[in-house]
Amino acid sequence: MENKLKELTERLYGEGLERGRVEADRLVADAKAQAEKILADANAEAAQIVKRAEDKAADTAKNSLTEISLAGKQALAKIKNEITELVIAKSVGEAVKAATVDAAFVKTMLIEVAKSWNSEGGKTELKALLPEALEKEFSTLFEASAKELLAAGIEVGYSKDVRTGFKVGAKDGGYYIAFTDESFEALMQEYLREKVSKLLFA
């Protein structure tokens, strides 16, 4: 009887141990599976984060290159424009100043203005005002050209209000059209801008 009790106790003990071992193995296997799943999920999430970061970095790099390229083109266009303006200013400014103090040039311009003014058929008597400071230089040539100017319908006068170029208006009218250095310069610059740009950068 004692042997049977001992056997029974040992058997129950062995079965309990076996069940405990099986349960422990199952728990370990479950824990391993769960750990592997957590790790796999973490790896997948990490891969997604890395992918998003790489995509964002690629977009940022692309946008930066686009911005840099655009800024470069704008800077180049601005530099070209400034070079063109400098070339025009250097070449036109001095030439215009020289032309507007050249009595022969001014006389020719006055006659051309009169022709254009009277191109409609009627004849308007014009009065031209020149810089008072240039009266000495202009008077000799204009005295010699008096008949030509009168034939064109132009009376020449001098005014301290005219600093550069000349003003022309109807003799009995109350307004004048100014042909100053600045207006000639603006006209020449507009005309030359495209040509100079092509010469410099074509």
Domain 95-201: CATH architecture, name and number where available: 2-Layer Sandwich (3.30)
Q: In what order do the strands lie in the sheet with 166-170?
A: 154-159, 126-131, 166-170, 177-179
What's the pLDDT score for residue 91? 62
Q: Is the pTM higher than 0.85?
A: no
Provide the mean pLDDT of the chain: 76
What's the pLDDT score for residue 2? 66
What's the pLDDT score for residue 20? 72
Q: How confident is the model at residue 104 (pLDDT cuts 50, 70, 90)?
A: confident
Measure the CA–CA gap between 21 and 102, rounded to whole angstroms.
119
Least confident of 46-50, 59-63, 142-146, 182-186: 182-186
Burial of 164 (0-12, 13-18, 19+ CB in 10 A): buried
Taking a C-beta distance cutoff of 8 angstroms, is the pair 150, 110 a contact? no
